[in-house]
Amino acid sequence: MIMDFKQVAKISNYLAKDYAENIFRLIMAYQDISASEAASRLGIHIRTVQDFLEAMTEYGIIEKKEVFERKRPYYRYAIKEKKIEIMIDLDDAFAETNNNPSEYTIKEAKDAGAKFSIARNGEYFSAITIWIGEGRTTKERKISLTTAQGQFLYHLPFPDAAPLSIEEIMNKGSIDKMNKSEILDIVDELHSMHVIEKIF
Amino acid sequence: MRRKQKSDRKITGLLPGIFSVIIFVLTSITWGPRIGFFVLGSIILFYALLIFYTYYRTRHTWTLISTIYMFTYGSLLLSIAPHMIIGSKINFPLESKILLVLTILLFWWLLYLSFTRKLKWRGREILELAAYNIEQTDGSFTPRPLPTGKVNISKSDLNDFARYFQKNLLGLAYWEDSRIVFMPLKYKNEYFALFNPNYNYHEKTWIAINYSGNVSVNISKMDYLDYKEDLAFDELCKSLSDVIVDFLELYIDGREVRIMDKMDELRINVFT
């Protein structure tokens, strides 16, 4: 089952619980089992077991069946998938970001106050230093740049220049499209630090 | 034509002279005029060495005349120093008289060269030309270079132009691994650029052309603030690049005299 990062984080969180192995042992040993039976067997709160079983059901690892036996209906849970696979396809996860044209143009923000350090060959930036805060609380943050990021920022329009799209700047800097994701990353980071202005 | 740059009122150019006079007066008062002249002569000879270094760096012909002038002037002071005794009649030896004549002749020659702009560093003219058609904005300076385009040029032509750039005091050129950096130098800033071993030209105004022909421009904050108005920075950088590329093309076409004409036509004060 291919998941995204949020799904993986959620299921991993459940599987990391110290009772996870015991619940699966019970489910494998029993044909089916209710949440109250499992809770009483393991000595943990029924709500905890219920949440766990519901989460596993949501991801298709366990299946549940509603039953009616002399009392109000309840669920019995049984194993559905005996192999749990967690898979993330990074190409799929970021393909949209890399292939879609940006919906905004960018340029350097006015009075950004950042210091761009030039690389040894003088044709791209190797680092950017930003000062965050004011007065005595000012902190310096230096970001080392990859060559592609350095070339991209070297061609970033000045504050008074016409803004350009990310693709246009990449073309000017002869930057490979494969590097787009790292370009987007630094653009977002510098935008959050008010060094880059986005125009939608 | 209305100037875009502020007038230059810095006294940096006079500092070596002021320094020498102060030392001369102090040593003369303390130890007498003989020592005063000896010290002043030594200082002038030291300046002659520095000016010779400028010639060595730029190969600017007229700087060699400055060197010779300073050398004869310093030698003159040293030759008359033993005869400078208070209360006695001064009788200069023949070599002092010859040196005096040479010094006076060279002084007038140098004065003529100064007024004909032969000794002038041309950074102010280059930055004035760059700002010629640039409009005022609300301030947009950013301390980073801008890639401005590409020129078709061979490595040997670029090297030749760099030597021409220095030889005519347009500024200093710095040879890097993959490019040559041209730094226009204003009169009175040359001391720092030439004699400070820690001088960081990357933080100054420069135009870099790499061996593939890519042009980048950087304008320092000091030079930007030297303009009377907040000029459109992006346009200013492109314009500075155009000025140098224009000079480069004129040089390659063998019309380098037009480069000097363009700068002379501005009629900027010869001592700025």
Paired with A108 in beta bridges are: A196
Q: pLDDT over 90 for what percent of chain B? A: 62
Determine the pLDDT at residue B145.
92
CA A81 – CA B106 distance, rounded (Å):
100
- CA of B245 vs chain A CAs: smallest distance (Å): 18
Three-class SS of residue B250? Answer: helix
Q: What are the strands, taking DSSP E only, across chain A?
A: 33-34, 62-67, 74-79, 105-108, 115-118, 125-132, 139-144, 164-165, 196-199
Determine the pLDDT at residue A80.
92
A172–B233 C-beta distance less than 8 A: no
Model confidence pLDDT, tens digit, residues A99-147: 666 788 999 998 888 889 988 888 899 999 998 877 778 888 899 999 9
Tell whether the model's pLDDT for residue B54 goes beyond 80. yes
Q: What's the mean pLDDT in B217-225?
A: 92
Query: Nearest 5°: CA angle at A23, between A22 and A27?
Result: 115
The DSSP secondary-structure symbol of A156 reads P
Query: Nearest 5°: CA angle at B202, between B200 and B206?
Result: 125
A123–B143 C-beta distance less than 8 A: no
Q: What's the mean pLDDT in B98-112?
A: 94
Given CB atoms, is A125 within the 8 Å cutoff of chain B?
A: yes
- Whether B231 and B261 have beta carbons less than 8 Å apart is answered as no
Determine the pLDDT at residue B39.
94
Paired with B252 in beta bridges are: none
Interface confidence, given as ipTM, is 0.75
Determine the pLDDT at residue A95.
65
Given CB atoms, is B142 within the 8 Å cutoff of chain A?
A: yes
Determine the pLDDT at residue B1.
63
- CA of A119 vs chain B CAs: smallest distance (Å): 11
Give contacts of A158 with chain B, Cβ < 8 Å: 140, 142, 146, 233-234, 237
CA B170 – CA B124 distance, rounded (Å):
9
CA A159 – CA A107 distance, rounded (Å):
6
3-state SS track over A39-92: HHHHCCCHHHHHHHHHHHHHCCCEEEEEECCCCCCEEEEEECCCCCCCECCHHH
- Whether B147 and B210 have beta carbons less than 8 Å apart is answered as no
B206 Cα distance to chain centroid: 15
Among B140, B176, B178, select the one facing A158 at the smallest CB separation. Answer: B140
Average pLDDT, chain A: 87
CA A170 – CA A181 distance, rounded (Å):
12
Model confidence pLDDT, tens digit, residues B9-50: 777 778 888 999 999 999 999 998 889 999 999 999 999 999
Among A112, A118, A155, select the one facing B202 at the smallest CB separation. Answer: A118
Model confidence pLDDT, tens digit, residues B119-128: 889 999 999 9
Determine the pLDDT at residue A98.
63
DSSP H/E element including B69: helix B61-80
Tell whether the model's pLDDT for residue A71 goes beyond 70. no
Q: What's the mean pLDDT in A173-200?
A: 90
**pLDDT confidence bin for A91, thresholds 50/70/90:** confident
- CA of B130 vs chain A CAs: smallest distance (Å): 17
Q: pLDDT over 70 for what percent of chain B? A: 99
Tell whether the model's pLDDT for residue B272 goes beyond 80. no
**pLDDT confidence bin for B84, thresholds 50/70/90:** confident
B147–A155 C-beta distance less than 8 A: yes
- CA of B195 vs chain A CAs: smallest distance (Å): 23
A116–B144 C-beta distance less than 8 A: yes
A123–B214 C-beta distance less than 8 A: yes
